[in-house]
Amino acid sequence: MRDDARPPANDPFREADDAARELARRLLASAPHGALAVLDPLDGHPLASRVAVALDVDGAPLLLLSSLSSHTAALAADPRCSLLVGEPGAGDPLAHPRLAVSGRAVRLDRTTPAHAHARARWLERHPQARTYVDFGDFGFWRLEPQRGLLNGGFARAFRLGAADLRAA
């Protein structure tokens, strides 16, 4: 759906409430990894990859990506992407909450304070990354959330805006 498009009249998604916002923020904050979906520049088809995730102080996802990966080339060509987080537990995997955050990814220049900040946040979340975080082919990307789709369980689906996803 385009940014200016309206949902259909029979839209199954509810408007976000405080409980939905809290669940979405909790899913993002607790996710050590997620599925990153991008558009493959070779043929325009969707491409999904598993990536590690950390959060910036405002709740925006941070990604540490290798320039050797297909998803990094795709983001460089077209920054539109989506990140799916949420883990199934026991029983029906579709009964567990999950969140898809859509937005644009911005590469952080290595020489900026934003990069140093992302590196510190990353190592707080993923201390084992110290062995490769400074490799030349790795770089930080920040996903600027524009909207989200939260499935909080059966019949609990919500559309979220960028403000709904920001950390309180």
Please report, for the domain that includes residue 109, its CATH number. 2.30.110.10
Which two three-digit tokens encode residue 83?
A: 């990140």
Q: What range defines the domain where residue 94 resides?
A: 14-165
Domain assignment present for residue 69? The answer is: yes
CA distance 121 to 143: 14
Domain assignment present for residue 132? The answer is: yes
Which pLDDT does position 1 carry in this prediction?
45
Which pLDDT does position 168 carry in this prediction?
67
Domain assignment present for residue 9? The answer is: no
pLDDT in tens, the chain (168 residues): 445 566 667 777 888 899 999 999 999 999 999 999 999 999 999 999 999 999 999 999 999 999 999 999 999 999 999 999 998 778 887 778 999 999 999 999 999 999 999 999 999 999 999 999 999 999 999 999 999 999 987 778 999 999 999 986
Which pLDDT does position 140 carry in this prediction?
98
Which pLDDT does position 126 carry in this prediction?
98
Domain assignment present for residue 3? The answer is: no
CA distance 141 to 108: 6
Of the chain, the end-to-end C-alpha distance in Å amounts to 27
Q: Where are the beta strands (DSSP E) in the chain?
A: 14-15, 33-39, 46-52, 54-55, 61-66, 80-85, 98-107, 138-151, 157-161
Our count of domains for the chain comes to 1
Which pLDDT does position 4 carry in this prediction?
55
Which pLDDT does position 155 carry in this prediction?
76
Which pLDDT does position 5 carry in this prediction?
60
